[in-house]
Amino acid sequence: MNIKKKIEELNSSKTPIIVIDKKLGRTKGETLFPEKLARANEIIAKYGLPKIKKEEKS
């Protein structure tokens, strides 16, 4: 497959092209925002998780 065809195929595709930055691995296992995490856990404990509506297939 030549490069021009491949570029045209990618441009016409509905699938997004995502490149993940490998620098994100540095924060693996680390809590970045402990105050926000604590607040979110309080809200979940008090109100629970939101209900998820299931889509019907037609």
State the Cα–Cα distance between residues 1 and 9, nearest whole angstrom.
11
pLDDT tens digits, one per residue of 2-42? 777 788 887 888 888 888 888 888 888 888 899 999 999 99
CA 27 to chain CA centroid, nearest Å: 16
Q: What is the pTM of this model?
A: 0.45
- pLDDT at position 7 is 80
Domain residue ranges of the chain, discontinuous segments joined by +: 3-47
At which residue do the structure tokens 């299931």 appear? 54
Look at residue 1 in the predicted model and tell me its pLDDT.
Answer: 58
- What is residue 40's predicted lDDT score, i.e. its pLDDT? 94
pLDDT, tens digit, 9 for 90 and up, residues 42-51:
999 999 988 8
